[in-house]
Amino acid sequence: MALNPAKLEKDILATFKTGLETEPDSSVSVDGAVKCKHTESDIAGLLADNIVNYAAGAQIMATPGPFLFPNPVPPHTPPVLPDLQVYLLPFDCLITTAGKLALKNSISDSFAMKDPSMSLISAGVAAYISTLTLWQSPQKNTTTGVCFPGVPPVFKPSPKGRSMEACAKMMAEAIHGTFTSSVYQGVAFTILLGTGPIVGSPLF
């Protein structure tokens, strides 16, 4: 797995189209009157889902280490031995939903404020990235630590006439740029009881 901006763009476009869906409006006495089928909160939730699903593909690399485990020979005193099997192994994020509600709320607030620059969404994406704290490799090595977001995404106001496709592409590229400029650092624990640092590992 890895971050997939093409899928994010496709999902965002689908959410935009969902936001344009209408249904008959029986609250007014005008023939053919319609209203939006989905609320702003619904669309905010879908956009949050799009970002969370995209983040589920994020990976980090277990470098630079070193990863060490105690000398297995009694009395287990130093020198410690290197645990070489962990090097150059990708770790997948185990929990991507911890910041989902806050992300949805930031999107909803941006909608409510009619913010053309979507600055609240930008801040919400950066804050969401910081919630990606627990990772695991296919070999069940784990790491916990802090994910430092990169430059928050810049969403340029859409000029009149810009297509939904172009808007979805712009939004996906901005979010992807923030994720891939983010770095993780923490402490890793191997299945052989080794431990070591992961410093400045970029998300990919």
Look at the chain and report how many structural domains it folds into: 1
Q: Residue written as tokens 């962990």?
A: 86
> What pTM was estimated for this model as a whole?
0.88
Nearest of 122, 154, 138, 48 to residue 85 by alpha carbon: 138
Model confidence at 73: pLDDT above 70? no
Averaged pLDDT score across all residues of the chain:
87
pLDDT for 122-151, tens place per residue?
Answer: 999 999 999 999 999 988 889 999 999 999
Structural domain of 166:
5-202
Model confidence at 116: pLDDT above 90? no
Query: Residue 167 is inside which H or E element, if any?
Result: helix 164-180
